[in-house]
Amino acid sequence: MMYSRMSNKFMIFGRCIWISFLVLFVVACARQQEHPKQATININTDVPAVIYNPMIFGGFLEHFGTQIYGGVFDPGSPLSDENGFRTDAIKALKELKIQVVRWPGGCFVDGYDWKKGVGKDREPADDMAWGVIEPNTFGTDEFIKLCRLVEWEPYICTNAGTGTIEEMKDWVEYTNSTSGEFAQMRKENGNIEPMNVRIWSIGNENYGKDAIGWKPIKEWAPYVRKAAKEIKAANPTVKLSAAALITRKWSLPLLEQAGEYLDYLSIHGYWMPLWQKHYTTDYLSCIIKSEEPELMIQSFIQVLDESGYRGRIKIAFDEWNLRGWHHPGFPRKELQDYDDPEVAKLVKAREKNDIASQYTMADALFSASFLNACLRHAEDVEMANIAPVVNTRGPLYVHPDGIVKRTHFHALSMYANQLEEQVCNTALKADWLANEKDSIPVFDGIATVDKSGANWAISLVNRHPTENVHCTVMMGGKPLNGKYKATVLAGDLPDSYNDIDFPNRVVPEEVEVRIRKGIAILPPHSLTIVHVPLIIK
């Protein structure tokens, strides 16, 4: 008796708690409907739009993991063509409309001998940076062939680690000259016509103490000057970049000494530090990083300004990704004992880069904001390269039996295919999104217009994991009104992802959006590109 009375009391108590939670939840939902998150994008049609360089939609491929071997290049696979290129990957990569691809590294290039990767008698070589054997079956000729196939502009990063300036010049001669020892070598390798590789970079991340051939700035600046001067003297039409940091301490002396010979400075950014320790990241802790690329770009622009080179030297953001690549214990600077189980274990750990469930809506929306930052600074940023394009952290996953387009594949594809060619001046205002101590605007957006001024494409990002954003779209001081064609990428949940079994969980959807009195309702964790055919006057 006693026991059942007690349990009744507990039941009533439990029910009360449950009802209170329900009431709180209903009140919270009602409040959310009454006070939805707000944002405004004000498109200033009086300020002339800026033509941006489509190389902002660029990519990077490194001899690392399965990016090349077992990725884009897989001779013997039933899915590869007669040259060993994966046809399914090529088809998908074409969709991304990537303009320029940087190759062959990355840290890999600091120990790479390009001459071992050309010709008939190629031998495998040690890849010191990553502690594996480089088969050398994919070299300069294969890279150029791949570029022609996918319609990429090739961009070669040279070895400023174990390599010499002489070797850099030989490489440029191999690809670009009509005569000379290395031009002859190219012809003998079956490429009679020059390959015309227009863009080159001196070194990778030579400022990093882990890099083979690390140099402090007092050595790096004169080294870059010498290399750039000699390369330009031999090939005046090439465009040159050099490894840089956004700090004044690094880039001012570099520009002061080598600026007259450079066209770009290369910077890199990864915002989730997963190099040594691999962990699962939640949507909010990723998305909260979305504004950091722009801060980086802005502070680098200040340095360019101070140097006097702003306007002449452009930013090549030639490695970027939300997530740092996982490569515990590496890069290294010496040869490895490949049979050492410790080395084998570390190399195997890199497979974690390809765990499908990591690539969620956070990757897609972070990528959209990264591109927005580049586009907003299109006068200074001329190139940006998602690092990498295939496998590891890339938007396209290529496995032995097929491909998976990760969430960020769709975001990049929407940008490259749907934005117009000029970026407009906009002012953004938004409520905040918080994660622990940090907060950022809940919304990001960009507006583009074609040269005729008649076709507009507006990209709207709602970063909130669970709530709609009511976004007011103003063009030339007037609210947009009407029904417009749009594409929305959202997935069911912020953590939705695509994998081999379910490759289409997150795909863009073609919709018609109704914008009333300027207000577009953006679903949670979404990217929307709206097409507006006419300016409202």
* Least spacing, CB of residue 160 vs ligand AHR, in Å: 12
* CA–CA separation, 342 and 329 (whole Å): 10
Beta bridge partners of 43: 426, 475
Structural Rg of the chain based on CA atoms: 26
What tokens appear for 217 in the block? 């700035």
* CA–CA separation, 113 and 171 (whole Å): 10
* Least spacing, CB of residue 105 vs ligand AHR, in Å: 5
* CA–CA separation, 14 and 64 (whole Å): 56
Q: Is the CB of 105 or the CB of 445 nearer to ligand AHR?
A: 105
Check if the beta carbon of residue 424 is closer than 8 Å to that of residue 448. Answer: yes
* Least spacing, CB of residue 319 vs ligand AHR, in Å: 5
Q: Is the CB of 107 or the CB of 297 nearer to ligand AHR?
A: 107
Binding site for ligand AHR (CB under 6 A): 62, 105-107, 204-205, 268, 319, 324-325
**Burial of 30 by CB count in 10 Å (0-12 exposed, 13-18 middle, 19+ buried)?**
exposed
* Least spacing, CB of residue 326 vs ligand AHR, in Å: 8
Q: Is the CB of 134 or the CB of 319 nearer to ligand AHR?
A: 319
Distances in Å between the Cα of 521 and the Cα atoms of 30, 60, 303, 462, 466 are: 17, 35, 39, 10, 13
Beta bridge partners of 434: 439
* CA–CA separation, 5 and 393 (whole Å): 59
* Least spacing, CB of residue 495 vs ligand AHR, in Å: 24
Q: Is the CB of 204 or the CB of 526 nearer to ligand AHR?
A: 204
What tokens appear for 467 in the block? 């709530």
| Backbone dihedral region for residue 106 (phi beyond 0: left; psi -120 to 50: alpha; all else: beta) | left
Check if the beta carbon of residue 447 is closer than 8 Å to that of residue 462. Answer: no
Q: Is the CB of 330 or the CB of 443 nearer to ligand AHR?
A: 330
* Least spacing, CB of residue 323 vs ligand AHR, in Å: 10
Q: Is the CB of 394 or the CB of 494 nearer to ligand AHR?
A: 394
Q: Is the CB of 62 or the CB of 380 nearer to ligand AHR?
A: 62
* Least spacing, CB of residue 259 vs ligand AHR, in Å: 23
* CA–CA separation, 28 and 30 (whole Å): 5
